Amino acid sequence: MKKSYLKWFFFAGLGLSIAACTDENTSEPTPDPEPGTSSRYVVASTPVGSSGVADYLLTTSDLTQGTISTVGNGIEQDGSYRYYLTLKGKFFSLLYGQGNPGAVTTYSMDDKGKLEKISDFQSETVQIWSTAGDDLLTFKVPRSGNENASWFRINADQSKIVAEGQLNIVKLAGNGERAHYTWATQVGDKIFAPYMSIKGVAPDAFGTAYPDSSWIAVYSYPSMQLDKVIKDNRTSFFGSYGKNGLSVDEAGDIYAFSPSVATNSGKQTSTKPSAIVRIKKGTTEFDKSYLFNVQEKSGGKKVIAHTYLGKGKALLYMLVDGNNQYGPVKLAIADLHNQTFTWVTGAPESIVSSSAAYNNNTISADGKTVYVGSNTEAGSWVYVIDIEQATARQGLKVEGGAITAIVKVK
């Protein structure tokens, strides 16, 4: 599996040497939190020139200014790829084992705002990771061979697998191909799992003969019994490999984001626009009256990922080159309710890679600001984005590596 599936192109050219770090070296360049501070940010950064190290975890109480570095700082995360989630005051680091078992490492935040490891156990390597109630919900999704995807419920309090099962993805697709889940989102007592249809056969495992259709499998939770499949032909599939394609607003309406990047033999073949559709609260059908054509309103660009910001607003990660779904992005803000699109000014025009879009807890307490880690050829910064004004400015600088995730831990 290529690293670009999970981290849009690693950037080069920083030219910094990285000092050796260990789990015991947790010194941080930022001050301890002020009395009364109840949360702190974890910044994951992939170091330059280090093999066998996925990231270093750095902590800070301020993303708006200053500098932090991986040199001599941080908690090392081994492996090639890590995914990060927070639930019930705990920080989870999930190792993608590329076919081998993957570690699930759990941390808590001590009274000085530093991470403390409290659990470490082996799980299956997974391609889907999300939260549902008190659980981490993960899926192992084979791209060929085995016809069954495996799901796992990891209880946040117990830091262990409490239930697991299998789902036949060839039967789910029902078209001679196989369903490949792109994400899983809890909606009430259901899990909505969008998927793309893929051939699952080399040399074009991720190609499809069905580029102009979209599907969402709806499962009861926690049993993971299939209720139905929601289908539509106005867009291509929702989300993409490792990128969330669904969000739920405060009214309970579901918005599904299609990048229109389906391929056949390596070439994009979808004729449908990159767009957003809606499922109204309490229903399991698409709202045929709603189609937000993002590609048209952006002047031909495609949305590859998004972060829901609240009050109907979403931060969009727009492909600079629509034909390269792993290439650089540019930021925009969409009003889902009014179907308006605005480019973010002050942010880089070409972000080589960014902090993970699925972590939407980097929004300020007042809901006015969102923080995004942006890696460019010039370096890595956290950008402070005014949601209402769609403007950005440079905040915290991260030296020695590329920002892969920013997670607020209470």
* pLDDT score, position 19: 31
Whether the per-residue pLDDT at 170 is higher than 90: the answer is: yes
What percent of the chain is predicted at pLDDT more than 90?
Answer: 81
- Provide the pLDDT for residue 102: 80
Q: In the prediction, which pLDDT does 38 show?
A: 65
For residue 25, the model assigns a pLDDT of 35
Domain that holds residue 218: 3-409
Q: What is the pLDDT averaged over residues 394-400? A: 97
Q: What is the domain count for the chain?
A: 1
Model confidence, pTM: 0.90
- Rounded to the nearest angstrom, the gap between the alpha carbon of residue 256 and the centroid of all alpha carbons in its chain is 15
For range 150-170, the mean pLDDT:
95
DSSP notation for 351-407? BSEES-TT----B-TTSSEEEEEEEETTEEEEEEEETTTTEEEEEEEEESEEEEEEE
| Burial state string for 44-74 with b = 16 or more CB within 10 A and e = fewer than 16 | bbbbbebeebbbbbbbbeebeeeebbbbebb
Token pair of 191 as six digits: 């899990």
Question: What's the gap between Cα 204 and its chain centre?
Answer: 24
Lowest mean pLDDT across 105-114, 346-355, 363-372 = 105-114
pLDDT at 99: 67
> What's the CA gap between 148 and 224, in Å, rounded?
14
pLDDT(52) > 90: no
Residue 116 and residue 98 in contact, taking contact as beta carbons nearer than 8 Å: no
Average pLDDT over residues 73-92: 93
Sequential DSSP letters for 141-164: --SSS--EEEEEEEETTTTEEEEE
3-state secondary structure 12-33: CCCCCCCCCCCCCCCCCCCCCC
In the predicted structure, residue 13 carries a pLDDT above the cut 90: no
The Cα–Cα gap between 44 and 69 comes to 11
Query: Is residue 29 predicted with pLDDT exceeding 90?
Result: no
Average pLDDT over residues 96-106: 80
Per residue in 217-265, pLDDT tens?
999 999 999 999 999 999 999 999 889 999 999 999 999 999 999 999 9
CA distances from residue 328 to 79, 92, 305, 390 in whole angstroms, order as listed: 24, 27, 12, 19
Residue 35 confidence (pLDDT) above 80: no
Backbone torsions φ then ψ of 268, nearest 5 degrees: -65, 135
- pLDDT tens per residue across span 182-196: 999 999 999 999 999
We report the CATH number of the domain holding residue 239 as: 2.130.10.10
Alpha-carbon distance of 55 to 72, in angstroms, equals 13
pLDDT in tens, 252-278: 999 999 999 999 999 999 999 999 999
Say whether 117 sits in a helix, a strand or coil. strand
Q: What is the mean pLDDT of the chain?
A: 90
Please determine, for residue 303, whether its predicted confidence score (pLDDT) is greater than 70.
yes
Q: Which residues pair with 185 in a beta bridge?
A: 192
